[in-house]
Structure 1
Amino acid sequence: MSVIIILLGVSLLVAMGFLGAFIWSVKNGQFEDDFSPARRILFDNKTDNVNE
């Protein structure tokens, strides 16, 4: 029974660590990329076309 309490405490510490890392990354601007490379393919940029 004491193993369950130890595992519960360790899992809560790990969860709090991930939550802290997430909050830190949001505050430092890790998620402020509004125009990511994944969306750039949706827009036609005439200056990049070499075959024209």
Structure 2
Amino acid sequence: MSIIYFLIGCSVLLALCFLGAFFWAQRSGQNDDLYTPSVRILFDDEESPEK
């Protein structure tokens, strides 16, 4: 039974780490530009190799 308490504690700690990483990413501006990555594939490369 004590292993269940240990595993629950580990999973809560891991969830808090992921939540902290998510809030850090939001504050640092990771998701500010949602439009450019979706249309970047539509633009031609400036320096395309000629064959």
Relative to the length of structure 1, the TM-score reads 0.70
Among all aligned residue pairs of Structure 1 and Structure 2, give the percentage whose two residues are the same amino acid. 44
SS in 1 for 2:15: helix
SS in 1 for 2:12: helix
Is there any run of 5+ residues in structure 1 with no aligned partner, and where?
none
Partner of 2:19: 19
Relative to the length of structure 2, the TM-score reads 0.71
Q: CA deviation at 1:38?
A: 1.5
When the two chains are superposed, the root-mean-square deviation of aligned CA atoms in Å is 1.7
SS in 2 for 1:31: coil
